[in-house]
Structure 1
Amino acid sequence: MSDTDEHVEEDRTVEEPQERDPQERELAAWRGARRRLSRAAKEPTVGELLASLTTPDPDEPADVYGDGVVARLEERVAELLGTEAAAYFPSGTMAQQVALRCWAGRTGNPVVALHPMSHPERWEGGALTTVAGLRTVHPTDESRQPTADEVRELPEPFGTLMVELPLRDPGFLLPSWEELCALVEAARERDAVVHFDGARLWETTVHFGRPLAEIAGLADSVYVSFYKSLGGLSGAVLAGSASLVAEARQWRLRYGGRVFRQFPQALSALAGLERELPKLPSYVEHAKVVAAALGDGFGASAVPWFRINPEVPQTHQFQVWLPYGAEALTEAAVRQAEETGTCLFRRWWPDGPPGMSMTELTITEEALSWTAPDVHKAVADYVAFLTEAGAQA
C-alpha cells in the first residue's frame, strides 16, 4: 500500500460521536433560551459573576477575618432586621447549628422543636444530633406549619422552637401573621426561645403585611441567606442580641467559619440587598399571576391531573406537580428550550407516589414581562413536547 493509500484510509476513519452529558445539554438549553420564566443558580458563568461584583470604593482595604466590607454587611442586616447585632457565616447550615447550640446552652435544654420537613432535618446530614449534640421533636408531621396548640401540647419540654419561614419542602408555606404570633406566644408559655430559619425571610413581607424588622422582632434570633432570594454568591447572617452574636462568633471560630477573606460574598450580598430586596414584593405579586395562568393552561390541556402548590403562592416561589416521570418532564422542558427558545420549566424530581414529579418555580425579574397569555402558550407547547415524547401518566 502506498503512502497515498494510507492517507486515504486515514481520512475514511470516523470517530464515534460521544454522548453528550445530560446536565451539560440542559444547561446549554437554559442558557440559550431567548425567554425564561425563572432563573437557575447554575446558569451564570464565572465571568458573569465576577462582572456583577461592584464596590463604591475599589481602593478600600480588603477584609481580613470579617472586618471592612463584611462588617458593613453585618451592620446593614442588623439594621434591616431591627436586631442589636449580626454575624456573617459562610453557610446557613453552620449559622443555624451555632444558633441552636447557643440556645441549648443558655436554656439548659438540648431539645429543639421543629418541623420534620425543615432544613436541618432533611438537608444537613443529621448535624444537629451528630455535631451539635442536640435532639429534635416535631409538633406536627403534616405538610403545613405547626399550630400554637400543637406547640403547647408537645409532651416533653424543649428549649428552642425553630420556625422555617417559609417552609420550603411542602411548598414555601407561611402561617398567617396571627398564627405566627400565636405560635411564638405558645413557645414562650413553654419557657422556650424562638429561632427563625429565615433563609427566605426577605420575601415574606407581602404575605405578612409587615416590615422585616417587625417580623424578625418576634424571634430571639434569625438566620437569613444571601443567595436564595437576593442572588448573592453564598453566605448567611445570624442576627439577634449583642450577647448572643458575640457567643455565636466564638462558635463560628470553633466550627471553622472564621474565613480569612470573604469580600466577594459580602459585596454580592450588599448588591442583592440594594438591587433585589426592593423588587421582591413585585416578584411575589407576579408569582400569583403566573401560578393562576399555569393552572388555566394545564386545565385546558390534555394532562390528566396537575397541582399548583400552593394554589395562590405566598412568596415568589411555588411548586408544580404533574403525573409523569421526572425524566420525561425534564426532557420536554429541554426540547422546548432548544426548539422554541422558550424556557418554561427546568429540572423535575420524582416525589410522592410512583409516577409523580415536582418542579419549583422562582419568579424574578425575567418573569415580570410574562403575561397570562404568554404562560398559556408556553404550557400548550410544553404539553405538546411531553405528548410527543410519549410520556405515560
Structure 2
Amino acid sequence: MTVGQDPETAGQDPESAGQDPEEAAERLRERRGAALRAARRVLWRPSHQHTVRERLAWLNEGAEGVYDLDRPVDVYGGQIVETLEERVAGLLGKEAAAFFPTGTMAQQVALRCWAGRTGNPTVALHALGHPEVHERHAFSQVSGLRPVRVTDEPRLPTAQETRDFEEPFGALLLELPLRDAGFVLPSWEELSEVVEAARDRDAVVHFDGARLWECTSHFGRPLDEIAGLADSVYVSFYKSLEGFGGAAIAGPKTLIDEAKTWRHRYGGMILQQFPTVLAALIGLDRELPRLPEYVAHARVVAAALREGFTEAKVPWARVHPEEPHTHQFQVWLPYDPDVLTDAALRQTEETKTSLFSQSWMRGGPGLALTEVTVAAPGLEWTAQDVRAAVREFVERLPG
C-alpha cells in the first residue's frame, strides 16, 4: 500500500485516458457514490453515504431515547457534553473524560499533558500509527512532541522491542487495532507484556483507541479491563459508532482537567456541540452493543471470501488477518488497483450488490488491497451469498 494514499482516488490512472486528473477523480467519486447509494445489498453503509435529510432523520429518531431534550443546550462544554464525558469515563473505567471535536486534537493534548508530567516529549509508536501516516506530522509540527518509531513490522510492537528501544521515551502510544496493518491486535498476554515493558522504562502508556470499542471479542475482556492497562485512552464516536464526529480522552482527573484547558487553547471550546454529542450517545446505545455480533459475522464473511476466491481459481488472494480480529480486515488480490476498482464498480452498478465498497490501494507491482467492514447490513449475508458475490466479481476481472 502506498502510505498516505487517498483511498478515494487510489487505483485510478486518469492521465492515461487523457483526462484532467482532478476532474477524473471527481467523476469517479460521483459515480461510485451513486452506485453505492443505489445498491440494495452491502456489507456496510457508512454514514457519509447518506443525505443530510437522512442523517437528520436518524438523529431526530434516536435522540429522544438517549437524553432529555427539554434540558438546556450545551454552552462551551457543559450540560449534554458532560453527560457524554461521564458515560465514557464509566465505560472505560477511568476517573474522568473530556470531549474533543477531533481525535487529532485529542491525542495531541493528551500526550503533551503527559510530556509535561514526565519531562520527556518523545512519543514511541508504530511506523504505521495513525499520527505518523494520516495527520501531517501534527505531533511535531503543532505540539512540540517528538515521535519515534519502535517498529515497522505489520503488528503491534513487542515487549522486547519496547525494552530494547535505543533511546528514552516519555510515552508509548499503542493503536488498538492497528488499522494500516490490517486492523490487527496482539494477544491479551502480549499487550500486557508491552505495557509492563513501557512501565519498566518509566514511560506512560496511551491507547489510540479510535476503534477500541470493537476489541472486546478478540481480547475476551470488557472495555474497562482493556482500557485499564493504559494511563490514558482516546476513543472516537464515528468510526464504529456511526456518529457525526467527535472524540474523547479518558484518564486521571488531574490529566483531564489540564486537557480541558488545552482543549480551549487548541480551539476546541465550541459554543454548542449537542448534535454531535447526541449522535455519539445514540451510537453508544445502538452500535456499541452490536459490535461483537459484527465481529463474529466478519469471520464468516472472511472465510467465505477465501473459499470464493479459491473456487474461482484466482491465483493469489489473501484475507488478512485470516480470522479477523475485529469487524474490519483487508483483502489482497494480484491485480492493479484500477482493474479492481472498475470490476467492483461495475458489479455494484449492474447487480446492485456491493462486495467491495471501499477503494483499492496499491500494495506493490500488480498487487492491490482494500478494506472490508462488516456491520448491520452485512449480517444479512450468508456464506453462500458471499461466495456468489465473489463469483460475480471475478467474472468482471480480465482473463
The CA deviation at 1:84 is 0.5
Instruction: For residue 297 of structure 2, give the secondary structure of its aligned residue in structure 1.
Output: helix
Structure 1 CA distance for aligned equivalents of residues 341 and 48 of structure 2: 16
Q: Which residue of the partner structure matches residue 48 of structure 1?
A: 54
Pairing 1:198-347 to 2, within 5 Å after superposition: 198-347=209-358
1:62 aligns with 2:73: yes
The CA deviation at 1:348 is 2.7
The CA deviation at 1:351 is 2.5
The CA deviation at 1:357 is 1.3
1:83-112 CA-to-partner distances (Å, cap 9, x unmatched) read: 010000000000001111111110000111
* TM-score using structure 1 length: 0.92
Instruction: For residue 160 of structure 2, give the secondary structure of its aligned residue in structure 1.
Output: helix
* Paired amino acid for 1:192: A
Q: Which residue of the partner structure matches residue 111 of structure 2?
A: 100
Instruction: For residue 173 of structure 2, give the secondary structure of its aligned residue in structure 1.
Output: strand
Match of 2:39 among 30, 33, 41: 33
Structure 1 CA distance for aligned equivalents of residues 172 and 165 of structure 2: 11
Pairing 1:90-239 to 2, within 5 Å after superposition: 90-239=101-250
Percent identity (aligned): 62
The structure with the larger Rg is 1
1:382 aligns with 2:382: no
Structure 2 CA distance for aligned equivalents of residues 331 and 161 of structure 1: 41
Structure 1 CA distance for aligned equivalents of residues 51 and 136 of structure 2: 29
* TM-score using structure 2 length: 0.91
The CA deviation at 1:336 is 1.0
Q: Which residue of the partner structure matches residue 15 of structure 2?
A: none
Structure 2 CA distance for aligned equivalents of residues 347 and 24 of structure 1: 14
The CA deviation at 1:355 is 2.2
1:368 aligns with 2:379: yes
Q: Which residue of the partner structure matches residue 20 of structure 2?
A: none
Instruction: Work out whether residues 42 and 378 of structure 2, in 8 Å CA contact, stay in contact via their aligned partners in 1.
Output: yes
1:5-27 CA-to-partner distances (Å, cap 9, x unmatched) read: xxxxxxxxxxxxx9992211111
Structure 2 CA distance for aligned equivalents of residues 276 and 182 of structure 1: 31
Deviates more, 1:53-62 or 1:235-244: 53-62
* Paired amino acid for 1:322: L
Structure 2 CA distance for aligned equivalents of residues 44 and 370 of structure 1: 21
1:337-375 CA-to-partner distances (Å, cap 9, x unmatched) read: 111111111233333212211111111111111111100
* Paired amino acid for 1:21: R
Higher relative contact order (CA 8 A, sep 6+): 2
Deviates more, 1:39-48 or 1:347-356: 347-356
Instruction: Work out whether residues 340 and 360 of structure 2, in 8 Å CA contact, stay in contact via their aligned partners in 1.
Output: no
Structure 1 CA distance for aligned equivalents of residues 334 and 361 of structure 2: 10
Match of 1:77 among 88, 97, 100: 88
The CA deviation at 1:57 is 2.7
- Aligned-residue Cα RMSD (Å) equals 1.4
Structure 1 CA distance for aligned equivalents of residues 106 and 362 of structure 2: 29
* Paired amino acid for 1:133: G
Instruction: Work out whether residues 88 and 237 of structure 1, in 8 Å CA contact, stay in contact via their aligned partners in 2.
Output: yes
Instruction: Work out whether residues 172 and 318 of structure 1, in 8 Å CA contact, stay in contact via their aligned partners in 2.
Output: yes
Instruction: Work out whether residues 348 and 357 of structure 1, in 8 Å CA contact, stay in contact via their aligned partners in 2.
Output: no
The CA deviation at 1:269 is 0.3
Instruction: Work out whether residues 46 and 242 of structure 2, in 8 Å CA contact, stay in contact via their aligned partners in 1.
Output: no
Structure 1 CA distance for aligned equivalents of residues 351 and 39 of structure 2: 8
Structure 2 CA distance for aligned equivalents of residues 84 and 40 of structure 1: 32
* Paired amino acid for 1:76: R
Instruction: For residue 104 of structure 1, give the secondary structure of its aligned residue in structure 2.
Output: helix
The CA deviation at 1:58 is 2.7
Q: Which residue of the partner structure matches residue 11 of structure 2?
A: none
Structure 2 CA distance for aligned equivalents of residues 141 and 36 of structure 1: 33
1:21 aligns with 2:27: yes
Structure 2 CA distance for aligned equivalents of residues 318 and 38 of structure 1: 13
The CA deviation at 1:41 is 4.0
The CA deviation at 1:329 is 1.1
Structure 2 CA distance for aligned equivalents of residues 155 and 21 of structure 1: 49
* Paired amino acid for 2:248: V
Structure 2 CA distance for aligned equivalents of residues 213 and 347 of structure 1: 32
1:96-138 CA-to-partner distances (Å, cap 9, x unmatched) read: 0111111111000011110010011001101111111111222
Instruction: For residue 369 of structure 2, give the secondary structure of its aligned residue in structure 1.
Output: strand
Structure 2 CA distance for aligned equivalents of residues 21 and 123 of structure 1: 24
Structure 2 CA distance for aligned equivalents of residues 149 and 240 of structure 1: 26
Structure 2 CA distance for aligned equivalents of residues 322 and 344 of structure 1: 14
* Paired amino acid for 2:77: G
Q: Which residue of the partner structure matches residue 7 of structure 2?
A: none
Instruction: Work out whether residues 361 and 370 of structure 2, in 8 Å CA contact, stay in contact via their aligned partners in 1.
Output: no
* Paired amino acid for 2:192: C
The CA deviation at 1:332 is 1.2
Instruction: Work out whether residues 39 and 362 of structure 1, in 8 Å CA contact, stay in contact via their aligned partners in 2.
Output: no
